[in-house]
Structure 1
Amino acid sequence: MLDPRLLRAFVAIADAGSFTAAADRLHMTQSTMSQQIARLEEMIGRDLIDRAARPVRLTVTGERLLGHARRILALQSEALALVAETSGTTSVRIGMPDDIATPEMARVFATFTKRHKEARLDVTTGLRSDLTRRYRAGELDIVVLKEDTPNADAWASFEEPIAWFTAMDAAADLPDPVPLVTFPTGGLYRDAMFERLERERRRWYVAFTSASLRNVLMAIEAGLGLSMLPIDAARGWRIKPLAEFAPEPPVVASLYSWERGGIVGELATEVLDILRKHFAYDQAL
């Protein structure tokens, strides 16, 4: 392997035309410069500089090496600059449901990363069961969970009204058995849906399952079945509340964060502000 320090001395001599001028450029003595060139020539096994010429000239081997030496030094400089760059080196891991990952939340993330160049936001959207497990295992730094009741370590919790929805053009009478559109096992509304239908003494079956809120909404809109969802999530879709069922009790959306200070705590505070605005808007409608 060619030592970059020796290559730098070699390039300096090629550019300056003398050992003395090259030594001055690199802030070293002429004898040190001569020793470095001698070591490089020993490694290669051939002379690189014609010392008898005035100004000194490169040998044929030296001319062949010069271009490669410049590229090696340039790559070294690029590599050092790359590893010295701190942008995106500190991971902040965030988990939240699909309907909380709004454009407003994305704008908060964008503003935060502009202010903290070192931050890299790793955002996961998913089901409550998976997000809860990963947060408690320390795999997420900040998490927003939809749950029946908040835990004692929640930063804040907000009530979220939910309802049953069906396609806009669905028949007034429910089919028998009732087709359901659900999240997979572990989704917050899935078991509640089953329990409600069983209390109503209705037969039911799962007609469509998806972990994506968008896919669930599209399936309801297309008439694949009924589902229980946050009222806010249904806005903008051609679906309607199911009048036959009385309102369900609200769930809560809770914010958790392992840290109160530092960049994690700072981002958690900004996420909390968005949640306050989001649920204040819901209650005003």
Structure 2
Amino acid sequence: MDIEDLRTFVNILESLSFTRTGDKLGRTQSAISLRIKKLEDELDCKLIERDGRTMRATAQGELLRSEAVRLVEFHDRVKSSFKRKGIGGVLRLGVTDDVADGPLSSALRRFANEYPNIQIEVSVDLTQHILARLKRSAFDVAVAKVDGSHQPTRILRTEPLVWCTHLDANDQPPGVIPVVTFVDGSYPRDLMLTHLTQAYIDWRISVVSSSLSGLRAAVEAGLGVTAIAAGAIRGGLKPAPEAWRLPPLPPAQTALFAAASTTPAQEAFIEFMSASFQMA
């Protein structure tokens, strides 16, 4: 049996229309009819019957349906696997440390299994540095926070940006809010300080860090508050008490940013990461 005959048969039973099947598969209605006739002749039975405008599978057609679906899926999976293994090259990847600390490890492991001939070079840095280097063509793909400076290729995840403090913090707010923040020029720093100022809340910078792990350590030690994406809250952190009346912040968006020039390795990674974040 021809796999395309089986694919046509499966699609007809899904759409219940020769015309819609032809549109989906890029074939004329007569070509679709010929494929079904060929399959019926080969199996020596009627597979599809009409009752007025109603179309349905015959008893023999129903028997074939599940096996046809399985064979088409197996064919496509094997073909796709060999196609993936044929893609090679070097992929230069820039990511922020919240991504490196979160879903990246397991995603890269699965990606390497599916695309063993792609060599990945990973750099971890702050969003503004990653995107600046992407603009200079230092990376093929970046996974970073959306900060308004670059147009993202694809949004991967949107989550709340939450003010956090240490686990033993009480409901009584400090007179002046100590802020643990990234280095000057970073998007989260500007966002926090702008919203605190606009809310007429007194603040001071207590700790400056160039990494998310440094931010977490300082907040866990009780040296101040910071704002991080909800998915990155763990360990000795908790949302700041509502009694502190810290201003709400816009959500954090993690996105893919791709260099202008495209390669098969780049395209494969973009599609893979998009699917990985949807499953996370």
* TM-score where L is the length of structure 1: 0.60
- Kindly report which structure 2 residues correspond to 1:62-211, keeping only aligned pairs within 5 A, or say none: 90-102=89-101, 104-149=103-148, 151-152=150-151, 154-211=153-210
Are 1:179 and 1:206, in contact at CA under 8 Å, matched by a contact in 2? yes
Alignment partners' CA distance in 1, 2:279 and 2:116: 26
Is 1:226 the counterpart of 2:225? The answer is: yes
Counterpart code for 1:272:
S
Corresponding residue SS for 1:235: coil
- Over the aligned positions, Cα root-mean-square deviation in angstroms equals 2.4
Percent identity over the alignment is 24
Is 1:263 the counterpart of 2:262? The answer is: no
Alignment partners' CA distance in 1, 2:255 and 2:115: 25
Alignment partners' CA distance in 2, 1:237 and 1:167: 6
Is 1:252 the counterpart of 2:249? The answer is: no
How far did 1:261 drift?
Answer: 4.9
CA separation of 1:138 and 1:261: change in aligned 2, threshold 3 A? closer
CA separation of 1:115 and 1:130: change in aligned 2, threshold 3 A? same
Corresponding residue SS for 1:131: helix
Counterpart code for 2:253:
V
CA separation of 1:157 and 1:120: change in aligned 2, threshold 3 A? closer
Corresponding residue SS for 1:194: helix
Alignment partners' CA distance in 1, 2:228 and 2:237: 14
CA separation of 1:198 and 1:146: change in aligned 2, threshold 3 A? same
Aligned to 1:32: none
CA separation of 1:231 and 1:212: change in aligned 2, threshold 3 A? same
Counterpart code for 2:132:
R
Alignment partners' CA distance in 2, 1:236 and 1:262: 39
Corresponding residue SS for 1:205: strand
Counterpart code for 1:266:
A
Counterpart code for 2:186:
G
Aligned to 1:274: 276
Corresponding residue SS for 1:135: helix
Counterpart code for 1:145:
A
Alignment partners' CA distance in 2, 1:271 and 1:222: 34
How far did 1:135 drift?
Answer: 0.7
Counterpart code for 1:248:
L
CA separation of 1:150 and 1:254: change in aligned 2, threshold 3 A? farther
Alignment partners' CA distance in 2, 1:242 and 1:124: 35
**Unaligned ranges ≥5, structure 1:** 1-88, 279-285
Are 1:163 and 1:229, in contact at CA under 8 Å, matched by a contact in 2? yes
Are 1:181 and 1:225, in contact at CA under 8 Å, matched by a contact in 2? yes
Aligned to 2:70: none
Counterpart code for 1:257:
A
Alignment partners' CA distance in 2, 1:156 and 1:239: 26
How far did 1:102 drift?
Answer: 4.5
**Unaligned ranges ≥5, structure 2:** 1-87
CA separation of 1:236 and 1:187: change in aligned 2, threshold 3 A? same
Corresponding residue SS for 1:224: coil
CA separation of 1:251 and 1:206: change in aligned 2, threshold 3 A? same
Aligned residues: 190
Are 2:180 and 2:223, in contact at CA under 8 Å, matched by a contact in 1? yes
How far did 1:162 drift?
Answer: 0.5
Alignment partners' CA distance in 1, 2:110 and 2:230: 29
Corresponding residue SS for 2:213: helix
Corresponding residue SS for 1:264: helix
How far did 1:127 drift?
Answer: 1.0
Is 1:240 the counterpart of 2:242? The answer is: no
CA separation of 1:153 and 1:184: change in aligned 2, threshold 3 A? closer
Are 1:257 and 1:265, in contact at CA under 8 Å, matched by a contact in 2? no
Corresponding residue SS for 1:174: coil
Aligned to 1:75: none
